[in-house]
């Protein structure tokens, strides 16, 4: 994958590197001196790595390597294709739409900034193209037609080579067992020569299993069902013929299928161990013979039909239809992944897919809350009867009464390795023992986590549909989805959807906040990353910017969410500004109360959320988002947070914009992380504007931490908080260190130290600190789990205050 590029200039047009006009001069001097004394080289190097590449330079570089002649009418052709399979699409071309539709099928979108889109041809993307029915010739011809230059031979041979062996063998399910199947026995022989695959073989026969092609009825071995199958087709043909609306080719197709059946086409197969499914699929991809997984649901006579249809009021949007079209071509369901931004109707896509397959369906979600939502959506959009949808979570362990139905559950529920309750085990048995027509994996990007990989062999499903907004992980496991679920079938273009009003338009901005001298002085002292991070977050200028933005947007009538990963900062900010906040320990009832107020009470326009709000909370009221702590360059988190405001209810109001601010403390690590986090959104075409000063901010005297005194106090508070205790070590560490060596024995990692500190809160502040410091080095062995979190935090604050008092 080529490196991501920043599309926008790092600086605002007029702003430039505004060195803080809002600072009093003396502050500025102090600040400059501080900065001069600090070695900024490392940081600027990192910044340059993400900021510096200018958006067009890579084009020129590529042109240099190019001998290819431009075609005479190149101006009418929208593509540049280099010999490594990288494709540049000009979005201003008149045939942009056609070219985009084509590219999305055969290549991986890398970046879709406003004028220039970049795609790349990969083996995976070509496999996806073949599995939705594109031939190698079709791909090459179309590419050639759109390209400004003749395709290089290496690209052609890459496409040829990659596609020639695709689609020759498939993986199928018969009576919950897995088989590799092909028309061509030599392909299977070839596969069996591979040691890994041979190892995973389950049947002990020497040769291959051979049977008539699994058209109609053949799947059923004894007579009765076969007859039923044949009957059904006859019935379908009759039905189709009787229906004046039915296109004649459809009838012909059905008849043809019937005819096919009479010629005894042979199909060969061997069985593999279900638990080795992934290994086999992966191995087959590695050796260039990827397996297709398709489900011929219409002719499946073994599994009961599920009575489900979309309700008439369910309107499928065109992009949802496109996505589903990729999944359902050739009247089969194929496994794969559909990528749609948050709020673009992923659930409806899943439900429609279930309505297409009409077999038992299992839906997996990440949290119990979305399980409830999925169920509600199913009832809303389809005519499924409510008893046919079972929910399998810790609090509800239902099964459906009939032969076919829907189960909605969580990944953890399915994959848990620990002891299950009796009921849970019963339901698991039920799930394992039957065949599923469709598996819907919500938030599919979580699946590659080690534990979740198990789902695919706990559940025997004919087809799998993965849904996600952000097919992104910071590790390299995202590739695994290719064999865990299937190829990416469709990926929507965010900009296009927002232009058409399906998701909100968003203005993104990065607000650079200068560090105050007090805070920067501390920041520059050698200390832990945690402490530095905390100082950057608690930077009073950032606080003021936040306060300013909240006031500004509240006046505009926006509903604002403020995100902070850091709970300490979350609490400080929220309390200082008298706003409600929710984090992990907030009890369910309290959460609901706050959310309720946020949505319906016009006195409550701002809430503070920890990363609890990244996913799962659905807040259609929110229109403005402020990020105050944005650690670890997680692109997915950034995208997901942005997703919180994409479904803004007011999005169709004339000229409506949602706002997304990232507050960043200047000259700290946050700058680096921030640009890293934005990479994904920038590739989706979002332009981040850099704001170096907020108009009117400097004139305000009523903002928090206006006086030096207040800022000092805040600094003290920060330094004494649990995250920033390194400085005290020297003072108190050796005085009390040994005294408590035998006290605590347990506790998980650093938490242990914190917990134990709680239990010892009756000690004086100084001793307490010493204790914490002493145990820092050996907290791996600590293991006391005494008090619960919420209580602890209270104690924590108590001890912090005690420390402060002791110091003064």
Q: Report the interface residues with DNA, using CB under 7 A.
A: 367-369, 393-395, 410, 412-413, 416-421, 424, 445-446, 449-452, 473-475, 530, 565-568, 583-585, 587, 610-612, 616, 632-634, 636-637, 640, 722-723, 748-751, 785-788, 791
Closer CB to DNA, 553 or 677, in the complex: 677
Minimum distance, C-beta of residue 219 to DNA, in the bound complex (Å)? 34
Q: Report the alpha-carbon distance of residue 668 to residue 723 in Å, rounded.
A: 17
Minimum distance, C-beta of residue 181 to DNA, in the bound complex (Å)? 32
Which residue's entry shows tokens 């589903």? 324
Closer CB to DNA, 505 or 750, in the complex: 750
Residue 788: CB atoms within 10 A of its CB come to 11
Closer CB to DNA, 451 or 694, in the complex: 451
Q: Computed over its alpha carbons, how large is the radius of gyration of the chain? A: 30
Strands (E), 553-592: 560-564, 580-582
Closer CB to DNA, 516 or 615, in the complex: 615
Q: Which residues fall within 8 angstroms of residue 3, CB to CB, at 6 or more apart? A: 53
Which residue's entry shows tokens 């901010």? 697
Closer CB to DNA, 260 or 423, in the complex: 423
Minimum distance, C-beta of residue 411 to DNA, in the bound complex (Å)? 8
Write the DSSP assignment of 403-446 as a string of letters.
SS-EEEEEHHHHH--SPPPHHHHHHHHHHHHSEEEEEEETTGGG
Closer CB to DNA, 297 or 672, in the complex: 672
Minimum distance, C-beta of residue 794 to DNA, in the bound complex (Å)? 12
- What does the DSSP 8-state code read for residue 515? P
Minimum distance, C-beta of residue 83 to DNA, in the bound complex (Å)? 26
Minimum distance, C-beta of residue 760 to DNA, in the bound complex (Å)? 16
Minimum distance, C-beta of residue 423 to DNA, in the bound complex (Å)? 8
Closer CB to DNA, 685 or 752, in the complex: 752
Minimum distance, C-beta of residue 602 to DNA, in the bound complex (Å)? 26
Which residue's entry shows tokens 């791996």? 780
Q: Which two tokens stand for residue 441?
A: 């994996």
The dihedral built from the CA positions of residue 415, 420, 424 and 430, taken in this order, carries a sign that is positive
Closer CB to DNA, 209 or 369, in the complex: 369
Closer CB to DNA, 150 or 726, in the complex: 726
Residue 466: CB atoms within 10 A of its CB come to 26
Minimum distance, C-beta of residue 362 to DNA, in the bound complex (Å)? 14
Q: Report the alpha-carbon distance of residue 806 to residue 767 in Å, rounded.
A: 10
Closer CB to DNA, 193 or 778, in the complex: 778
CB burial of 480-512 (b: ≥16 within 10 Å; e: otherwise) equals: bbbbbbbbbbbbbbbbbbbeeebbbebebbbbb
Minimum distance, C-beta of residue 452 to DNA, in the bound complex (Å)? 6
- 256 to each of 91, 133, 302, 413, 535, how far by Cα in Å? 43, 19, 22, 45, 72
Q: Report the alpha-carbon distance of residue 631 to residue 533 in Å, rounded.
A: 8
Pairing state between β 688-691 and 606-609: unpaired
> Residue 290: which of 224, 233, 334, 252 has the closest Cα?
334
């Amino acid at each position: 994958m080529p490196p991501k590029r920043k599309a926008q200039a790092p600086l605002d047009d007029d702003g430039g590197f505004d060195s803080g006009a809002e600072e009093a001069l003396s502050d500025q001097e102090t600040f400059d001196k501080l900065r001069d004394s600090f070695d900024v080289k490392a940081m600027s190097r990192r910044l340059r790595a993400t900021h510096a590449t200018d958006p067009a330079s890579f084009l020129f570089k590529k042109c240099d390597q190019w001998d290819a002649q431009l075609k005479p009418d190149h101006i009418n052709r929208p593509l540049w294709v280099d010999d490594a399979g990288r494709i540049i699409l000009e979005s201003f071309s008149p045939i942009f739409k056609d070219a985009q539709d084509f590219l999305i099928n055969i290549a991986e979108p890398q970046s879709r900034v406003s004028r220039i889109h970049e795609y790349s041809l990969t083996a995976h993307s070509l496999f996806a193209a073949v599995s939705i029915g594109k031939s190698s010739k079709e791909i090459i011809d179309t590419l050639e037609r759109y390209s400004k230059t003749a395709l290089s031979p290496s690209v052609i041979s890459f496409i040829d080579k990659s596609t020639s062996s695709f689609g020759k063998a498939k993986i199928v399910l018969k009576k919950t067992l897995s088989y590799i199947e092909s028309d061509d026995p030599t392909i299977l022989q070839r596969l069996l020569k591979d040691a890994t695959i041979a190892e995973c073989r389950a049947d002990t026969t020497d040769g291959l299993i051979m049977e008539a092609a699994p058209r109609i009825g053949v799947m059923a071995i004894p007579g009765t069902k076969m007859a039923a199958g044949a009957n059904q087709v006859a019935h379908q043909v009759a039905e189709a013929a009787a229906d004046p609306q039915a296109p004649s080719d459809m009838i012909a197709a059905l008849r043809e299928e019937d005819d096919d059946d009479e010629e005894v086409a042979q199909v060969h197969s061997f069985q593999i161990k279900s638990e080795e499914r992934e290994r086999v699929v992966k191995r087959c991809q590695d050796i260039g013979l990827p397996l297709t997984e398709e489900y011929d649901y219409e002719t499946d006579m073994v599994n009961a039909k599920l009575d489900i249809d979309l309700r008439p009021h369910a309107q499928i949007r065109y992009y949802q239809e496109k996505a589903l079209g990729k999944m359902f071509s050739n009247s089969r369901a194929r496994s794969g992944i559909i990528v749609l931004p948050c709020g673009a109707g992923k659930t409806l896509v899943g439900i429609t897919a279930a309505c297409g397959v009409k077999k038992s369906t299992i839906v997996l979600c990440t949290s119990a809350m979305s399980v409830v939502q999925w169920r509600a959506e199913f009832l809303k959009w389809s005519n499924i009867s409510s008893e046919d949808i079972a929910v399998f979570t810790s609090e509800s362990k239902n099964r459906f009464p009939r032969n076919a139905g829907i189960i909605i559950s969580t990944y953890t529920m399915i994959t848990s390795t620990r002891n299950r309750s009796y009921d849970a085990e019963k339901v698991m048995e039920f799930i394992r023992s039957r065949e599923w027509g469709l598996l819907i994996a919500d938030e599919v990007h979580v699946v590659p986590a080690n534990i979740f990989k198990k789902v695919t062999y706990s559940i025997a499903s004919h087809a799998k549909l993965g849904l996600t907004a952000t097919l992104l992980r910071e590790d390299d496991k995202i590739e695994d989805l290719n064999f865990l679920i299937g190829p990416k079938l469709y990926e929507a273009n965010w900009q296009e959807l927002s232009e058409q009003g399906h998701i909100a338009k968003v203005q993104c901005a990065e607000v650079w906040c200068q560090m105050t001298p007090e805070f920067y002085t501390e920041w520059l002292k050698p200390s832990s990353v945690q402490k530095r991070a905390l100082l950057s977050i608690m930077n009073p200028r950032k606080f003021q910017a936040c306060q300013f933005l909240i006031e500004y947007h509240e006046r505009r009538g926006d509903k604002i969410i403020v995100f902070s990963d850091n709970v300490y900062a979350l609490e400080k900010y929220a309390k200082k500004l008298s706003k409600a906040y929710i984090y992990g320990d907030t009890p369910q009832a309290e959460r609901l109360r706050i959310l309720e107020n946020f949505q319906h009470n016009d006195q409550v326009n701002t809430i503070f959320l920890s990363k609890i709000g990244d996913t799962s909370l659905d807040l259609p009221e929110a229109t403005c988002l402020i990020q105050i702590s944005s650690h670890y360059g997680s692109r997915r988190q950034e995208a997901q947070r942005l997703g919180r405001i994409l479904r803004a209810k007011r999005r169709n109001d004339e000229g409506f914009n949602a706002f997304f601010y990232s507050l960043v403390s200047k000259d700290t690590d946050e700058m680096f992380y921030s640009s890293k986090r934005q990479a994904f959104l920038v590739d989706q075409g979002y332009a981040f504007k850099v704001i170096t000063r907020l108009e009117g901010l400097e004139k305000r005297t009523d903002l928090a931490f206006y006086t030096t005194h207040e800022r000092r106090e805040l600094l003290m508070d920060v330094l004494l908080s649990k995250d920033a205790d390194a400085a005290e070590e020297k003072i108190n560490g050796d005085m009390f260190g040994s005294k408590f060596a035998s006290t605590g024995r347990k506790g998980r990692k650093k938490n242990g130290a914190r917990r134990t500190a709680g239990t010892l809160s009756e000690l004086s502040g100084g001793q307490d600190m010493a204790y914490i410091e002493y145990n820092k080095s050996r907290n791996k062995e600590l293991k006391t789990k005494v008090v619960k979190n919420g209580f602890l935090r209270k104690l924590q604050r108590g001890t912090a205050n005690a420390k402060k008092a002791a110091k003064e």
